[in-house]
Amino acid sequence: MDKSVEIDVDFALSYKKEQGRVLNLAWVLPRPKRDHYKGGFPLWFEEKLLRFFGIDLKDMAKDEVIQLFSGMTKYGFRVDLSKEVKPDLICDCHKLPKEWNNRWDIAICDPPYNDEYSKKLYGTGKIKYKDYISEAVRIVEPGGFICSYHWAMTPRPDGTDLIARIFVGTRTWHKPRICNIYQKHKKMKPNPSNNTQQID
């Protein structure tokens, strides 16, 4: 008898529903990506994360997944301030296009982790968690997911539930990361008066 269990987003959701608990996973990925982009994801992180969501990498559509602060990531629609990383859109992730309400299934956020790193590594400005994460929530469809990759445990954004935490061990002497995965409430709808969203 096959007793293997697929540890994926559906498992995380049923675990939360049945046990009332958040799934914690640990991935050890001790090698850098081949592009060696400063602050880049570890090798295979992107692929593993997309597979966790059941996404077929060969067939994935550009309008399923958005990468905010994309750097040199490979998959989905990529948004970054730097034209050197050839994003699909050059844009400040604290203020995304107004017409993007409820547009994407999954948003992955990997910002510089503080203002000093932002300036020193990328020549970019201040990073405001509340601003970019609420934008990520706005542009994801109800029931969709927001992945917050950071070296800190990030606070749960309004209008979402925390459904999984992936602890990522990296190279020796490198700080581990945490990818918190939030699910947007299913009953959120756009508020046309101020371009934000409200919960029924």
Q: Site for ligand SAM (CB under 6 A): which residue of 94, 138, 177, 184?
A: 94
Among 8, 47, 64, 92, binds ligand SAM (CB under 6 A): 92
Query: CA dihedral in degrees (144, 32, 124, 108; nearest 10)?
Result: 0
**Residue 124 is a binding residue for ligand SAM (CB under 6 A):** yes
- Asked if 73 interacts with ligand SAM (CB under 6 A), we say yes
Window 17-56: residues binding ligand SAM (CB under 6 A): 37, 39-41
Q: Which of 50, 53, 55, 71 binds ligand SAM (CB under 6 A)?
A: 71
Return the residue nearest ligand SAM (CB atom).
71
Alpha-helical (H) ranges within 91-185 are 115-117, 129-139
CA atoms within 13 A on the CB side of 42: 22
Beta carbons within 8 Å of 188's beta carbon, 6+ residues apart: 102, 137, 142, 159, 197, 198, 199, 200
Interaction of residue 77 with ligand SAM, rule CB under 6 A: no
48: enclosing H helix or E strand: helix 45-52
Question: Closest by alpha carbon to 6, among 54, 46, 43, 45?
Answer: 54
CB of 199 closer than 8 Å to CB of 71:
no
Tokens of 126: 């201040």
Distance CA 162, CA 95 (A): 23
| 75 lines the binding site for ligand SAM (CB under 6 A) | no
Interface with ligand SAM by CB under 6 A: which range of 14-22, 49-57, 67-75, 140-148? Answer: 67-75
Q: How far is the CB of 191 from ligand SAM (least distance, A)?
A: 24
**Shortest approach of ligand SAM to residue 91 CB, angstroms?**
6
Number of residues that bind ligand SAM (CB under 6 A): 21
Q: Which of 93, 137, 139, 179 binds ligand SAM (CB under 6 A)?
A: 93
* Contacting positions for ligand SAM (CB under 6 A): 37, 39-41, 69, 71-73, 80-82, 85, 92-94, 110-112, 118, 122, 124
